[in-house]
Structure 1
Amino acid sequence: MYLLKNAIKLVLFTLVLNLTSCKAQYPDLEDGIYAEFITNKGVMVAKLNYEITPRNGC
């Protein structure tokens, strides 16, 4: 019984954690790959333009 209670608590905690972590920090941005830079002068968000980025390697 003790194991079942702990398992239920763990499942509920994981569910709540997953539901609260899915909030979009920048909801006005379109789909894409972004990087967030935090500096002493503020926050900067940059979008990766993968279509024009040079491809190195294979």
Structure 2
Amino acid sequence: MTSKLTPEDQQKVDSYLSAPQHQVERKPFRPLLMLAVVLLIVLGLGLLSRMLGMLVD
């Protein structure tokens, strides 16, 4: 894929991206952890709604 930027613009982009604030180390993405958190939230809200439903009856 070729860049549509002029060499000057590409140099500006490269210098912007190489700035220290754009070089933050991130933890690897863990989809199973995210799935577990979402499931816990859904289960917790479901249990809460059942308990509230029992109180209203």
TM-score (norm 2): 0.41
Considering Cα pairs closer than 8 Å and 6+ residues apart, tell me whether 1 or 2 has the greater RCO.
Answer: 1
More strand by share: 1
More helix by share: 2
